[in-house]
């Protein structure tokens, strides 16, 4: 039995496209996020939340199929967050998460943000992309703006990471 062949990165990039989410994508976006919510990796986002925050989302399509997503949430003129990063299991290990984070970083930089954070259970993934672990208490915008309303607030299992964009 031979080892599985990996697809060259150049082929992957020609068959993928990253674009802003559209209203017609809400159901597919919910389906993509659903298994990650069920496993506790991501917090729930119902249809109303997805609709209200749709303009934050970027989708990565593989041959026309939505394979992954990520969102950029802005807190201040300096600080934004990579949120809801998810890659459908059948598309794992193809670099799609990296591509989406790069797209979010590009958008954040073009808006003039100087820092991006993420709360994650996969800190090593972000470390490989130049993020460093930071103390959650150093992120009051996130802590008191979002986390305070989270059901995991007192028992958060996520690690805060940050990257300077300048």
pLDDT tens digits along 85-94: 999 999 999 9
- Residue whose pair of structure tokens reads 């506790």 in the numeric block: 40
Is there a domain that residue 2 lies in? no
Ranges of the chain with pLDDT below 70: 1-14, 140-154, 156-157
Identify the domain containing residue 142 by its residue range: 9-164
**How much is the pLDDT for 112?**
97
Beta bridge partners of 57: 71
Kindly state whether residue 1 falls inside one of the protein's structural domains: no
We report the CATH number of the domain holding residue 134 as 3.40.630.30
Angle, alpha carbons 131-100-60 (nearest 5°): 165
Distances from the Cα of 156 to the Cα of 21, 55, 71, 136, 138, angstroms: 29, 27, 21, 10, 15
For residues 147 and 153, the answer to whether their CB atoms sit within 8 Å is: yes
Residue 145 is predicted with a pLDDT of 57
Whole-angstrom Cα distance, residue 116 to residue 80? 5
Q: Is residue 90 part of a domain?
A: yes
Domain tally, the chain: 1
Query: Is 83 domain-assigned?
Result: yes
Q: Is residue 79 part of a domain?
A: yes
In this predicted structure, what is the pLDDT of residue 106? 97
Q: Say how far apart CA 6 and CA 22 lie, in whole Å.
A: 31
Q: What is the pLDDT of residue 8?
A: 45
Domain membership flag for residue 3: no
Beta bridge partners of 133: 161
Kindly report the pTM of this predicted structure: 0.83
How much is the pLDDT for 109?
Answer: 96
């Amino acid at each position: 039995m031979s080892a599985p062949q990996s697809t060259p990165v150049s082929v992957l990039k020609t068959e993928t496209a990253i674009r802003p989410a559209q209203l017609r994508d809400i159901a597919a976006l919910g389906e993509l996020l659903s298994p990650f919510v069920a496993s506790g990796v991501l917090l729930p986002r119902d249809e109303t939340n997805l609709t209200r925050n749709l303009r934050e989302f970027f989708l990565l399509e593989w041959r026309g199929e939505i394979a992954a997503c990520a969102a950029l949430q802005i807190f201040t003129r300096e600080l934004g967050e990579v949120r809801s990063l998810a890659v459908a299991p059948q598309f794992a290990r193809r670099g799609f998460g990296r591509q989406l984070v790069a797209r979010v970083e590009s958008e954040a930089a073009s808006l003039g943000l100087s820092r991006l954070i993420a709360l994650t259970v996969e800190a090593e993934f972000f470390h490989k992309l130049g993020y460093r672990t930071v103390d959650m208490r150093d992120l009051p915008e996130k802590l008191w703006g979002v986390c305070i309303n989270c059901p995991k607030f007192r028992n958060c299992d996520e690690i805060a990471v940050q990257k300077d964009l300048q």
